[in-house]
């Protein structure tokens, strides 16, 4: 069966702005928590499974070193790697630590960074399914028609890197930024995307 090589699972800049506006303008702590973890995913490109596995100590170490260590235990294929943090990622980590304190969770080193709710009987970290459900909630609140999941933040970062990097081969930047085992994994981000196809159809009209 012929498979079309079209890259679709990313957020356009306008979609990204709408989604962040929908959640970022809310004052309640759980909305602020969601805004922070979505910004962290957007700025680092880590997988949602890795996000669910991050601890308070991981965040503290990342803030000290300006690098986020994705331990093998929480990385895909148990291949750990390092993410270099920009200012927005650093702020997202700081916000997550602050919000978990304001939710009433003690800063125990090996406790989950992103908590599911206020301190109480459970005190559990958010599960991958919970991240997916919250993303769906905010996607709908923003009125987005695309079926964006938390993993789309990883694709969105990669797409921006390919578009904006001045490196000779931007795929090498994507490989290191996302912890890919091979440069080949980044080839998908060079495929025609939704914007390319729409522009081409307009040009052909």
Mind telling me the catalytic residues? 47, 76, 151, 154, 180, 189
- If 0-12 CB within 10 Å is exposed, 13-18 middle and 19+ buried, where does residue 8 land? middle
Helices (H), the chain: 13-24, 29-44, 48-53, 56-65, 87-102, 128-141, 151-164, 170-178, 194-203
Query: Running DSSP on this structure, what letter comes out for residue 7?
Result: B
Residue 189: CB atoms within 10 A of its CB come to 21
Q: Which of 16, 21, 59, 56 is nearest to 146 (CA)?
A: 16
């Amino acid at each position: 069966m012929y498979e079309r090589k079209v890259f679709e699972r990313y957020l356009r800049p306008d979609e990204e702005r709408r989604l962040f506006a929908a959640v970022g303008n809310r004052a309640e702590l759980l909305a602020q928590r969601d805004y922070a973890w979505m910004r962290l995913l957007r700025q680092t490109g880590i997988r949602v499974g890795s996000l669910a596995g991050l601890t308070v100590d991981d965040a503290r170490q990342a803030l000290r070193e300006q690098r986020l260590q994705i331990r093998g235990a929480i990385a895909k294929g148990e291949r750990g790697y390092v993410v270099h943090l920009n200012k927005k990622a650093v702020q997202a980590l700081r916000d997550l630590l602050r919000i978990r304190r304001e939710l009433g969770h003690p800063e125990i080193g090996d406790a989950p960074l992103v908590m599911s709710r206020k301190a109480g009987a459970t005190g559990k970290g958010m599960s991958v399914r919970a991240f997916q459900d919250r993303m769906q909630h905010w996607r709908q609140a923003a009125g987005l028609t695309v079926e964006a999941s938390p993993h789309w933040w990883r694709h969105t970062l990669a797409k921006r890197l390919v578009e904006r990097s001045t490196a000779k081969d931007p795929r090498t930047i994507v490989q290191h930024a996302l912890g890919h085992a091979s440069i080949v994994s980044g080839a998908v981000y060079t495929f025609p995307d939704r914007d390319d196809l729409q522009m081409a159809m307009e040009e052909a009209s």
